[in-house]
Structure 1
Amino acid sequence: MPLVTQATLWTARIQLVPLGDDHLEGEVQLDADPEVMRYLGRPRQRAEVEQAHRRRIATASVVPGLGFWAGLVAGSFVGWWILQPPERADQGPVEGQAELGYRLLRRYWRQGLASEGARELIRHGFADLGLHRIFAETMAVNLPSRATMAAVGLDYVRTFHLDFDAPLPGSEHGEVEYAITRQEWLANRPAVVRHPVPGTHGI
């Protein structure tokens, strides 16, 4: 079978391109912002972000088609989205499943971009990659992210606890998992509107 490469995707406002070295400066901005990192860990120095960047790029080589996408609005980096294979045993099997995630620069919050990009990755995962299940995780106290998960069709599955070397405030309440199956998505999906690549005139 031919190798499935990571696709470039489009929404009404966002171009989602495979994460590359051109996006490193945006990642540095993201991970240095204490508000962005509030539910993720302490802000990172540049050297730490460079290491994380290399790990993010490498994700695309684990399962064909999955990986990190940089989101561009009018050519400007707004954040990244992911579909990545499960990393822990309690997340279930790798085959046919992926974890959804997103991280946006603070100036692009509350504009519906996180959910817009997430919906397209869910569509891509089920319609193009043939995934069976997509899930997402966050801290139980991260209400904005939980609201986004629910808004894009994921349902609450469980609350669980992980051991951290440096627990964040609120970690005593645990982590939550939300998920959607391909069957659920097919039953409830809205009409699909395709967004042609500029210059193709829809052909």
Structure 2
Amino acid sequence: MIRGLTYCRRVLRADYPIKTDRLLLRPFTTDDTADVWAYQRQQDVARYLLWEPRDRDQVRDAVAQMAEETGLGAEGDCLSLAVVSPELDAVVGQVELVWHSEANRQAEVGYIFNPDYQGKGLATEAAREVLRLGFEDLGLHRIIGRCNALNAASARLMERLGMRREAHFLQNTQVKGVWRDELVYAILRSEWQDRP
């Protein structure tokens, strides 16, 4: 066992829930559908994502998929966690860690939050815990984050996490019929360990 992690059928899984100062991070369940629909149906949320605002059936399917993403066993696997506010007894967002390379010990962090709970530092708190999990528990070497170049809030969040901007790709991806610029941020394990 490595600090809060166990090997189960060759899949690395955390002990849940993971507690931060104000939040609980845990796997999704089908009971989370209404809370997730509350934000995934919003145009402001989908604006910078690959998908359009989702209807209830699409969210139900997305939550069912995320409920299966509870561990990292191979490259390409995604760990998806519901971010729960115990005070509100509600899912306020989601965070994920996608394993890109076993040989190079690299992954990618991602997050989506309900706009009703933005501006309170909750996304920063949850994403910081995912970075901690990646570096301290999984022994990763490098974690990246990506966002639409127009998504200034997401870029600022990554900067608050201590990630540095490594690239600004011009019109590298077509999303919803429009070419978009993408920012790539990254942080190394050594930078994580040296943060104040």
Which bin holds the TM-score, normalised by the shorter protein? 0.7 to 0.9
Deviations 1:33-85 (A, max 9, x none): 11111211421112222232233233335537951111111222111111122
Match of 1:114 in 2: 123
Match of 1:197 in 2: none
Unaligned runs of 5+ in 2: 2-6
For residues 174 and 54 of structure 2, the distance between their equivalents in structure 1, rounded to whole angstroms, comes to 17
Give the TM-score, by structure 1 length. Answer: 0.79
Correspondences of 1:132-171 after superposition (within 5 Å) = 132-160=141-169, 161-164=171-174, 166-168=176-178, 171=179
Deviations 1:136-188 (A, max 9, x none): 111011101000000011110112244436235xx44x111101011111122
Match of 2:26 in 1: 17
Correspondences of 1:77-92 after superposition (within 5 Å) = 77-86=91-100
Give the TM-score, by structure 2 length. Answer: 0.82
Deviations 1:17-38 (A, max 9, x none): 1222222222212210111112
Q: Compare the two structures and name the one with the higher strand fraction.
A: 2
Determine if contact 1:57/1:67 at 8 Å carries over to the other structure.
Answer: no
Tell me by how many angstroms 1:132 deviates: 1.2
Q: Which moved more, 1:13-22 or 1:46-55?
A: 46-55
Determine if contact 2:13/2:72 at 8 Å carries over to the other structure.
Answer: no
- Return the letter of the residue paired with 2:190: Q
Q: Percent identity at matched positions?
A: 31
Give SS of 1:146's match. Answer: helix
Correspondence 1:180 to 2:187: yes
Cα gap change, 1:12 to 1:67, in 2 (>3 Å):
same
CA RMSD between the two structures: 2.2
